[in-house]
């Protein structure tokens, strides 16, 4: 019997995140947190990971990320979930060094060989990233889920938050948009082999560039684009800095079949939920850009705010790391509208 992992999952990848509004509701009255002056980044700015000052010029970065199956191949699912979890450390300018696995599986319905493949995929990515996969915890659960808790470190001066962009900064994106649309098409068996390959390739590609991008002063802010889509993570970047942004839609890179699939109204469930929470903050959206800019990404690209005068140095750094990030817009002074799309 062929096991189709995605048929066990209600959401896909980072698309199974709870809505921002629900998350706020959950956290609102959950009590006072023990205060430590060593906590450099906590929950307030919706950043990618927590950061704790170790007192010697370096900080510990700690994060956890897991989700239900986004592809049917268990090895690929493990690779994608692992690369996605490591991404939040990279997005803060850090270097991940140790990970612990979190696995849930309906043990009656899914053979242990599948679990073994998931772990093998995660291990392959951790090896590639030179991260020790040092343990884990597995439970019997009705819906499969997998991910990692990750520790990383960073020299504090290289720490990059999502909230520190400056007016006039250029915005760069390191990966194309569309993994939510593609994985929805996959779940409904409406996808070509080539598109699956492209999606798996992109979702399992490490955002290791973040570790390098945190070093130069001209990188002012950074985050990775995941469940809230490009628009959601950009709004967080704007609100954190008290700024607005403008995006030129034609410059936003899209994965190969995304326009075609969006034209057939294939989109992830959470796209509309995302849009509902952003609508009053955005101007200039169209049918297609709504479906793509609100598309929940799994291990999406890094969104990086760069001082305009240093754009050539930034390009050179990216080229040295094998990337050609697309400049999609810029940060502006605060306006009534947070993101203007043209
Ligand atoms: Co993130
Ligand atoms: Co995350």
What would the pLDDT profile of 77-119 be if each residue is shown by its tens digit? Answer: 999 999 999 999 999 999 999 999 999 999 899 999 999 999 9
Neighbours of 70 (CB within 10 A): 31
Considering every ligand atom, which ligand is closest to the CA of 224?
Answer: 1
Annotated active-site residue in 14, 126, 238, 294: 14
Spatial contact of 304 and 214, defined as CB atoms under 8 Å apart? no
Cα of 43 to ligand 1 centre, how many Å? 12
> What's the predicted TM-score (pTM) here?
0.94
Query: Stretch 270-274: mean pLDDT, rounded?
Result: 92
Cβ atoms 218, 314 nearer than 8 A: yes
Residues 6+ apart with CB under 8 A from 226: 14, 17, 84, 87, 233, 296, 297, 298, 299, 300
Cα of 1 from ligand 2 centre, angstroms: 33
pLDDT in tens, 276-286: 989 999 999 99
Phi-psi region of 189 (alpha: psi -120 to 50; beta: other; left: phi over 0): left
Which of the 8 DSSP states describes residue 331? E
Ligand lying closest to the C-alpha of residue 162: 1
Active site residue 14: yes
Q: For residue 9, is pLDDT > 90?
A: no
Does pLDDT of 32 surpass 80? Answer: no
The pLDDT value given to residue 89: 97
Domains of the chain: 5-158 (3.30.1330.10), 170-341 (3.90.650.10)
Which residues keep their CB under 5 angstroms from ion ligand 1? 48, 88, 224, 226
Residue 262 pLDDT:
96
CA 231 – ligand 1 centroid, Å: 13
What is the arithmetic mean of pLDDT over 169-185? Answer: 96
Q: Is pLDDT at 12 greater than 80 in this prediction? A: no
Distance CA 189, CA 6 (A): 10
């Amino acid at each position: 019997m062929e096991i189709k992992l995605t048929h066990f999952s209600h959401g896909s990848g980072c698309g199974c995140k709870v809505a921002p509004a629900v998350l706020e509701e959950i956290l609102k009255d959950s009590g006072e947190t023990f205060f430590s002056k060593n906590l450099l980044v906590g929950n307030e700015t919706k950043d990618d990971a927590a950061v704790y000052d170790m007192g010697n010029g370096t900080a510990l970065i700690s994060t956890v990320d897991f989700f239900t199956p986004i592809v049917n191949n268990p090895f690929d699912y493990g690779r994608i979930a692992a690369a996605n979890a490591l991404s939040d450390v990279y997005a803060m300018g850090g270097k991940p060094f140790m990970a612990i696995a979190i696995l849930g599986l309906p043990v009656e319905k899914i053979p242990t060989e599948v679990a073994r493949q998931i772990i093998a995929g995660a291990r392959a990515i951790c090896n590639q990233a030179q991260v020790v996969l040092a343990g884990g915890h597995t439970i019997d659960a009705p819906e499969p889920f997998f991910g990692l808790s990750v520790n990383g470190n960073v020299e504090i001066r290289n720490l990059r938050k999502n909230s520190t962009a400056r007016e006039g900064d250029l915005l760069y994106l390191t990966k194309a948009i569309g993994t939510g649309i593609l994985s929805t098409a996959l779940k409904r068996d409406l996808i070509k082999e080539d598109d699956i390959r492209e999606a798996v390739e992109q979702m399992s590609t490490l955002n290791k560039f973040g570790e390098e991008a945190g070093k130069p002063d001209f990188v002012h802010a950074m985050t990775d684009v995941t469940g809230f889509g490009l628009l959601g993570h950009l709004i967080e970047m704007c609100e954190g800095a008290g700024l607005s942004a403008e995006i030129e839609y034609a410059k936003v890179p899209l994965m190969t079949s995304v326009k075609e699939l969006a034209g057939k109204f294939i989109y992830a469930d959470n796209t509309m939920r995302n849009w509902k929470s952003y609508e009053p903050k955005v101007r200039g959206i169209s049918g297609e850009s709504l479906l793509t800019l609100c598309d929940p990404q799994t291990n999406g690209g890094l969104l990086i705010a760069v001082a305009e005068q240093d754009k050539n140095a930034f390009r050179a750094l990216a080229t040295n790391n094998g990337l050609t990030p697309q400049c999609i817009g810029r940060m502006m002074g605060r306006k009534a509208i947070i993101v203007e799309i043209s």
